Structure 1
Amino acid sequence: MKKTKKLMSLLLALAMIFAMSLSVFAAGDNSIQVTNAQGGETYKIYKMLDVDVNPDKTAYSYTLPADSKWASFFNTGGAGAAYVEIKNVDGTDYVTWKESGASDYEAFGKAAAAYAATTAGVTEAVSAQTPAADGSITFDGLDSGYYLITSTNGTLSMVETTPLAPQATVNEKNPNPTIDKKVKENGTAGSENSAQIGDRVEFEVKINMKKGARNYVMHDKMEDGLTFNKDSVQINGLTKGTDYTVNTPADGIAALQDDCTFEIRFAEDYLNSLTADTTLTVTYSAVLNEKADVTAGEKNEALLKWGDKNQTEWSTTTTKTYQFEILKYDAADTRKNPLAGAEFQLLKADGTEVKVVKVTDTEYRVANGNETGAGVPIVTVANNKIVVKGVDLAEYQLEETKSPHGYAKLSAPKKFEVKEGQTVLVEVENTAGHTLPSTGGMGTTLFYVVGGILVIGAAAIFIFGKRTSVNK
C-alpha cells in the first residue's frame, strides 16, 4: 500500500508536457475533466495501466496486461523502468513506484509522453480533444485504469485524484514561457540604443523557461543594417553544442523559419532536466553596418516557440544611427553660399579619426571598419551642403586639412555635438587672405616725393644767394 500511495503521489505533480497520469474506477463509466485548458491546443489521453480494486473499494493495485503496448516502456530496459518496478504474481504483472522525489515524477511523465508520441500502437490515443469556450475538456466513457494526458502546449499541469474517484478533475494552471529582448546602451539594457557604423551592438534576451518545457526554439530576426556575430552567443550556465545549438541559414538548416537571422534550439535532454521554472539570459552581438538606416534605425526582434505550435509575440529593439550636415562658406557672404574645395577630416571628441567613405559628391558615411574607400577626405562642393551619415549621439570635431584657394585654413578643429531630435548643421566660415603692402608702390613714391622737395629747396637757396650777391 505504501508504494501504491507513492504511485498516486505522482498524480500530484505529473506531467512535463502537461503529462499527467490518472486512474479511474468503474469500467466504462469514468471521466476525467480538464479545466482551464488552453484554447487551440490538442489534449490527448492514453491508457497506460489497468487498475484492480477490491469489492469493498478499500484497496487497489495497478497491473500491466500481457498484451499492453506499454510493456516495453515499463519492462527492463524501457524508459519507465527507472521509475517503477514490475512484480509478477501468479502470472499477473503488478506495478509499484520506486522510492524517489517529485523531479522523478515529472521526468517519468515526460518520458511517458515521448513514448506515447513515438511508439506504434500507443500513438493512437483513447481520445483527443480541444477545449470548449469555457476552457474545459471532458474525457468520458473511460475504463478503469491509469491514464496519461498530454497537450500540444508542452507545459506542466497539476492533478489531484484517487483511484476511487471515477470523476476526476485536472486543473491546468500553467503560465506560458516568456521572452524579453533588450539592447545595451553604455552597459544599461533597454528597448533602444544608438551607435556609429562599425560599432559592436550588444543584445540580451531573457527567457523564462517552464518545467515541462518541450521543443523550445528561440528565433531572432535582424534587419539588413546589423551583421550578426554567431560566435558571440552565450547562455548563462549552459554549454553550447550540448545544451543548445545556434543555427543560421548558412548552416543549411531547412527548419529555420520566419526569415530569421538565426535560431537557438534547446536540446531535449536539457529541457527534460528542468524541474522548476528557470530564467535564462542569452547574450550576443552584431555590428552596425553600412546599410544602417539613419531615419528608422535597425530593428532586431526575437520570439520563442515551444510545444507543437505555440509561440510568444515578437520582442523588439531598435538601434539608431544619425547624420549631420556641413556648410562651408565665405565669411563675407551674407547669403552663406556653399564654398567648394575645402577638405575635412572627421574626428571624435578625443581626436581619434573617424574614417568615412564617399557615396556621392554631397554624401559621405562612416566606414564599416577598413572597407574599400575608407579614409577619404570630406570635400565641399559649390552647389550644396555635405551630408555625413552613420554617426552616434556624441561629440565630434571637423579638422580642415585643406582650405579653398585664396582662403586661410582654420587654425583649430570645429567642435559640434550630434543630439537626438535635432538637425545638426555644422557651419564653417572661411576668410579670404589679407592684402599686404607692395614694395614697388608706396616706398618708391616716398623717395620721389622727398627727392622733389630737396631739389626745390636747393633751387630756392641758389636763387636767394644770387640776389644777395647783386645787392652788395
Structure 2
Amino acid sequence: MHTKKSKIWTGLFTLLLVLGIIFPMLGALKQISAATNDPVDIKITNAYKGATYKGWKILNATETDQYVSGTSGAKKLQYSVPDAAMRTKLATALNMTQGTDTDAVFDNKIIQKLSEMTNDSDALKTFARKMYDLIKDDTASLAATKAMDGTAGSQDSTITWNDAATGYYLLSEDTSTIATADQAAGYKPSLTVLNAVADSYATNGVLSITMKHDNVPTVEKYIKEDNDDTTATTTPLYRKGADHDIGDTISFRLQATVPDNVAEFQKYFMSFVDTLSKGLTYDSGSVKVYKVANANVSSLTNNVATLSGQTWATTVDNSEYTVTATTNTGASNTLTIALSDLTGDVAAGDKIVVEYTAKLNSDAVIGSEGNPNSVYLTYASDPKATDGGTPGRTPEDKVIDFTFQVDANKVDGAGAALAGAGFTLYKKTNNASDTDFSTTTTGWKKVKEIAAADNKTAFSFTGLDEGTYKLVETTVPSGYNKAADIDFTVVPTFAADKKSITKLEIKDSANKVIGSTDSTDNTNSKVFTVDLTAGKASTNVVNNSGKQLPSTGGMGTVLLYTAGAILAVGAGVYLIVKRRTTVK
C-alpha cells in the first residue's frame, strides 16, 4: 500500500474532546533509545471512577529516519489506512468521496487532509465527533484495530493499556457507564486523537495522557455546624459532617466553580440538583444565591457564617433563578436551583454559591449511619450550540448530619425495673447556671419531658446534639427517694474529613469519661454504656426505697445534734447523782 510522510507529526499531538470540546495537549518529547517501532504502553491519568476508556487505531504508522525539527529526538512518521472499513469511516468523517481514485491514491488524500488540520480547529473537532459516532458501536468490523479498552478503578485513577502498536489513535472517555450513585452519568464522551509511537515519542516505553477535565464545572456541598451549647466544637463552621438536635434549623452551602471555557459559550446554564435525606425538611423560601468573583474567592472560607451582607459577594436577584422543591413524606427530598442563562454574567473561576436551610425532623437516622445529603450540577456542555447543548452532569458531592440518643432505665436498689417515674432532660445553653431551668435561649433549655406512666421503666431521649445535659427525675415512684440529677456531656469525635464519627463519649461535669465506645477511655467509674453504630448511650437511674433522709448541714442534722447534746447532758447529771448516792 502506498504511504506518505504525514505532516501530522506534532510532538505528541494530542487532542482532547471533553463534553464536545477539543483541547490541544502538547506533551514533551524525549528520545530514550533508537526508534524500533516497538509497541508502547499508553497510560491514562485523571480518569473517572466507573468511566469506560476505549481506543481505536485509525491509522497505521511507522517511524522514519527523519527527525521532527525542534524536538528531542522525535521522528517523523509514515501513515497508512488499515483497511477498507476504516477507509470508509475516515472518508465519511472528512466529507470525502473516493470517486475513481484507487485505494492508494485516496488513502494519500485522506492522510493529506488530516495533516492540514491544526490543533483545536473546528475542522478537527468536527472530524473527531463524526469519527467517534462512526466507530463507537461498530466493533465487529473494527475488531482488528480496536486495540485497547478498560475501566478506571477509582476517582482520578490511572489505567494502562500495554503494548499498543505504533499508530494514530482515537481514544474515548465514556462516562455513561459510571454508576448512578456516583452521579456522573451525564458527561458526554471525551475523545482524544493522538500519535502513539515507539521510543522516540514515549518515556521509558510509556506514553502518558492526562484527561483534561478543567473545562467542566465542579460543585461542593457543606453543612454548617452550630450548637446552642457554646462549649461545643463548631470550628470550622461549614464542613462535610456535623451533628444536630432534632428540630434544629440547619444551614447548607453549595458552591459551583465556573469552568475555564465559559466565555466560549453562546449560552451557559447551570442547575444545582440537591437531595436531602428523609430526615431533613427543606425550609421553603430559604434559598439565596450569590456570585463570588474569582478575585474574591479567597474570602469565601468555611468560617464565613453567611454571604449575606458580604461586600465581596454579589446577591443574585431571585428573578434570575428558579427553585423547585419536591418533598416526599418518608422519602428523600429534591431541591433544584436552576440558573437558565449565566452568559456574560460569570467568568472563569467565579463561584456561584447557594445557601438554604432545612430542619432535622423525626425521621432522622440515629447513629453512625447518619443522614447523608448530596448535590450535583447539570450544565451547558457545548459552546457551539445556541442552547448550550445536552446538559452535562458532575459527580455528586456529599455531606452527612448525625444525631444521638440517651436512654434512662429506671431501677430500684436491687437493679430491678421500677415503674412510676417521670423524667425531664435539659440542655445547657449560653451562660447556664445550675439553678436556671428557663426555656429561653439562656440557661437550661428543656429538651423533652416524659411523664410517669403505668409500667413504664425505660425512657428514651432521641435526636440529641453534642453538648451538656441534665437529666432530672421530675416524678418519683411512691415509697422511694428521688434520684440525684445526672449531669453529662455528649462528645462525638469526627474523622479528619468530618464524614464519619469515630468515637462517642459521655463525660461528667468534671470532664471525666463515664462512658465511651473506646474501652481504653473507661478508666473512671462507668456510668453509661455507649454504642457507636446505634448512636446510643444508656444508663440506669436508681431509686432507693424509704423516706428521704436529711442531708449533712440541714435542719435535720441540727435537730440530731441538739438531741445528742441533751442526751449527753442527761448522762452527765445521772453519773454525778449516782456517785453522790454511792458516797453516802
Instruction: Give the greater-gyration-radius structure (CA).
Output: 1
| Structure 1 length-normalised TM | 0.49
Q: TM-score, normalised by structure 2?
A: 0.40
